[in-house]
Amino acid sequence: MKVAMGQFMVAREWQANAETCIALMNQARQGGADLLVLPEGVLARDIADPDLVLKAAQPLDGPFVTQLLAASRGNGMTTMMSVHVPAPGGKAWNLLIALRNGEIIAGYRKLHLYDAFSMQESDNVTPGNEVPPLVEVAGMRVGLMTCYDVRFPELARRLALDGADVLVLPSAWVKGPLKEMHWEVLVTARALENTCYVVAVGECGPRNIGCSLTVDPLGVAIARGAEAPALVFACLDAARIAHARHHLPVLENRRFSPPRLNAE
């Protein structure tokens, strides 16, 4: 599978972000990507207005997603990103969506909200309560996670036990002391402990680090972005997963079962 990581600085106006997403979709498709991963919260952002995620939220049939669906028609590339959509109770869901050939083929409501480091995502966002099914892309099974989820190893392990070969992680990782180290350590750990690829894409700009990263099943970073907007490609090889799981059978050697995260 060929993946593209499209990191950019999300603007306040959804129209500008739609144009950026569509441009990255076109470039990734021209580069032969099977999967394009974009950051978290790509509909709108303003670091001076944390409530914008709620005020700017759009339903899935709104103009932002509608434009991206139109741009995805006529080809087999899958595009994944996170957007905010209205939820009951006056809040929004942080929803990871997968688009392919004019359709939304999967959705995942972020389970773990970023109520940490003096930030309170739950002020505006309602958490999900279900682990999503895997999405097949170019013969590989892809598990969905979003940003802060990477700090919770039980979710990545659950997806790996469900059969994930790849974990996708759209993010908006906030800058701060040691935060870039946290990002790299956590992304690498989730790949290595589950012997799968992790494709982690960060929003860049004045608040967030960028630093998109693809890590292979033995913890090797095979592609990176820096702090600026970029489109970075990486090739994922099923043989590398088989090699890692043969020599490092941690999924077979485990002694504990993961907790059940789906709501009954």
Name residues whose C-beta falls within 8 Å of residue 6's C-beta, 6 or more positions apart in sequence.
21, 24, 27, 28, 36, 37, 38, 39, 201, 230, 231
3-class DSSP assignment, residue 31: coil
Tokens of 28: 């990734």
Q: Catalytic residue among 2, 13, 19, 40, which?
A: 40
Alpha carbons 77 and 90: distance in angstroms, whole number: 34
Which of the 8 DSSP states describes residue 208?
Answer: B
Yes or no: say if 63 and 14 are a contact pair by the CB < 8 Å rule.
yes
The CA-based dihedral angle spanning residues 147, 153, 155, 160, taken in that order and rounded to the nearest 10 degrees: 110
Number of neighbouring beta carbons within 10 Å of residue 165: 26
Element spanning 168, H or E: strand 166-171
Is 130 one of the catalytic residues?
no
Is 147 one of the catalytic residues?
yes
Alpha carbons 168 and 128: distance in angstroms, whole number: 17
**How far is CA 174 from each of CA 4, 31, 136, rounded to the nearest angstrom?**
22, 29, 30
Is 121 one of the catalytic residues?
no
Q: Catalytic residue among 21, 91, 103, 110, which?
A: 110
Name residues whose C-beta falls within 8 Å of residue 225's C-beta, 6 or more positions apart in sequence.
5, 7, 201, 202, 204, 210, 211, 212, 213, 232
Q: Catalytic residue among 13, 19, 103, 147, which?
A: 147
- Mind telling me the catalytic residues? 40, 110, 147
